[in-house]
Amino acid sequence: MADNLNVSTPLILNQNMQLDSAVVSADNVFIYYYTIINAEKPVALMDSLEVELNSSIKKSFKIDERLRVFKENKVTIKYIYSDSTGSPVRTIKVTPEDYN
């Protein structure tokens, strides 16, 4: 799944987010890497978006049938957001317990 996604990256998602890549770690964690773009203050942007992103991500995992593979395999998902210099800004984590 990560390999298929990476064929299309980098992918501009909106005016402030770019999906850079995805990987799967040995400990059953699917990791999405994002860059915050066009933002003078990426930390402030993430501060304002974090609650909405968390809610949206967790809701998607509860209702989107395409994400069932993550549920069935008890995969933890990490969304890692970095600024344009590559410095980490925020990580959002969704655990199998969050799917229910």
pLDDT at 76: 94
Closest to 62 (Cα-Cα) out of 99, 93, 95: 99
SS3 category, 39: coil
pLDDT at 65: 87
Domains in the chain: boundaries:
2-99
Asked if 10 and 20 count as a contact pair (C-beta separation under 8 A), the reply is yes
Q: Which residues are CB-neighbours of 50 under 8 A, at least 6 positions away?
A: 90, 92
CATH of 2-99, picked from 2.120.10.80, 3.40.50.620, 3.30.300.250, 2.20.28.10, is 3.30.300.250
Is the pTM here over 0.85, yes or no?
A: yes
Model confidence at 13: pLDDT above 90: yes
pLDDT at 3: 92
pLDDT at 98: 81
SS3 category, 33: strand
97 pLDDT band (50/70/90 cuts)?
A: confident
